């Protein structure tokens, strides 16, 4: 996941909850810079061991999926060569 994608996802999640939270905490809502809040959350996640581990596992899963697709493509080619139409 790129930093841009992560930033967009976090911004979306903050925006989703912001109105309700701001209604309960109007003074804090006026004092908090939402852009800085997003940037802080991105930085914290990038350093979080659980997030790092989850992203690493996602990369491994993606690599496994790509490998499986290559195997299926190769098998398909083999079958087409063996059984031409």
How many structural domains does the chain have?
A: 2
Q: Is the pLDDT of residue 27 over 90?
A: yes
Residue 52's pLDDT band (cuts 50, 70, 90): very high
Question: Which alpha helices (DSSP H) does the chain contain, by range?
Answer: 3-24, 26-31, 34-47, 49-82
* Host domain of residue 72: 49-85
The tens digit of pLDDT for each residue in 32-45 reads: 999 999 999 999 99
Residue 15's pLDDT band (cuts 50, 70, 90): very high
Q: Are residues 35 and 70 in the same domain?
A: no
* Residue 2 confidence (pLDDT): 80
* Residue 75 confidence (pLDDT): 86
Residue 3's pLDDT band (cuts 50, 70, 90): confident
Q: Are residues 75 and 40 in the same domain?
A: no
Q: Are residues 41 and 77 in the same domain?
A: no
Cα 13 off chain centre by: 12
Q: Are residues 40 and 68 in the same domain?
A: no
Q: Are residues 2 and 41 in the same domain?
A: yes
């Amino acid at each position: 996941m790129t930093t841009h994608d992560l930033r967009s996802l976090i911004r979306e999640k903050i925006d989703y909850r912001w109105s309700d939270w701001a209604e309960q905490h109007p003074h804090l809502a006026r004092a908090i810079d939402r852009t800085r809040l997003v940037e802080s959350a991105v930085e914290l996640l990038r350093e979080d061991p659980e997030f790092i581990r989850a992203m690493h596992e996602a990369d491994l899963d993606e690599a496994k999926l790509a490998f499986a697709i290559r195997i299926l493509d190769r098998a398909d080619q083999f079958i087409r060569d063996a059984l031409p139409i």
